[in-house]
Amino acid sequence: MIQFDLQVDFRAFRHYSVKQLFLYAIVEHTNENNCASWRSIIWDTILEVDDDLTELAFNLSAVHAKYPLTLAKNSRGKKYRMYLEWEVTPYIGLFQYYRPKQYSEFIL
């Protein structure tokens, strides 16, 4: 089972038009050309944006994956990347999608 630590601060997204943030952790396998061959969501949560700023900044340790990652037998010992991505849901307007360039690499 995959577990990870998560430190986030989304207080900058607290303004009049943001309703909620949808966060999700993605595990990605890359091929020899460094292109993603598959991606899988292993964890997600929704943060409601209200007057309580403490809920938009948190530090979690040993978070367990919500969704299992099923791999083929020949997938062991290969390199994987994990990203935290999020979508901003506004009260009015278009959804905004964020995928930072930072990621964590690990070997299963």
For 15-48, write each residue's pLDDT tens digit: 778 888 999 999 988 777 777 778 899 999 998 8
Q: How many domains does the chain have?
A: 1
- pLDDT of residue 84 exceeding 90: yes
- Name the residue range of residue 10's domain: 3-107
Which region, left, alpha or beta, applies to residue 9 given φ > 0 means left and ψ of -120 to 50 means alpha? beta
For 49-60, the pLDDT digits (tens) are 876 655 777 888
pTM assigned to the model: 0.80
CATH number at residue 29: 2.60.40
Residues contacting 9, CB < 8 A, separation 6+? 56, 57
